[in-house]
């Protein structure tokens, strides 16, 4: 009886991994759109790591009003003082929000990130 239970458990484990639907993962293709993002605040954790607050125009994330996004959340980690100095990142400058929306495949449907290069 014990061996039968183990066999059923192992069989269920392997069979439940794919329920017949599409498998997650690549290859995937995205449509990329770029938006201006105004740097409104640099918040420091310890004078070495920073979180940038960026303001987006109405219609990008909210239909009828401006929104604020945070670089640490979108980019998966802090900005470092070295990068801020090297790239002359400063409050009042306009950077780029990159939005990638999936058009093919079964990956993350939308990816947003901030590029700290001056928006032309």
- The pLDDT tens digits of the residues spanning 20-53 come to 455 567 789 999 999 999 999 999 989 999 999 9
- CATH number attached to the domain at 22-115: 2.40.50
What is the rounded distance in angstroms from the CA atom of residue 16 to the CA atom of residue 52? 42
**Looking at the predicted structure, is the pLDDT value of residue 118 above 80?**
no
CA dihedral 17, 22, 28, 29 (to 10 degrees): -160
Q: How confident is the model at residue 5 (pLDDT cuts 50, 70, 90)?
A: very low
* Range with lowest mean pLDDT among 22-31, 94-103, 109-118: 22-31
DSSP H or E segment with residue 38: strand 25-44
**Looking at the predicted structure, is the pLDDT value of residue 9 above 90?**
no
Q: What's this model's pTM, rounded to 2 decimal places?
A: 0.74
Give mean pLDDT, residues 96-106. 94
The burial class, CB within 10 Å (0-12 / 13-18 / 19+), for 54 is buried
The full set of domain ranges for the chain reads 22-115
Give mean pLDDT, residues 65-85. 96
**Looking at the predicted structure, is the pLDDT value of residue 6 above 90?**
no
């Amino acid at each position: 009886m014990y061996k039968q239970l183990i066999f059923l458990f192992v069989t269920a484990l392997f069979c439940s991994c794919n329920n017949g639907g599409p498998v997650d993962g690549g290859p995937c293709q995205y449509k990329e759109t770029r938006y201006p993002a105004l740097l409104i605040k640099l918040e420091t954790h310890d004078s070495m790591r920073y979180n940038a607050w960026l303001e987006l125009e109405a219609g990008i994330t909210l239909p009828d009003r401006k929104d604020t996004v945070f670089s640490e959340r979108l980019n998966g980690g802090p900005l470092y003082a070295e990068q801020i100095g090297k790239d002359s990142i400063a409050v009042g400058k306009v950077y780029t929000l990159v939005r990638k929306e999936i058009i093919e495949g079964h990956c993350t449907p939308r990816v947003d990130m901030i590029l700290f290069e001056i928006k032309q």
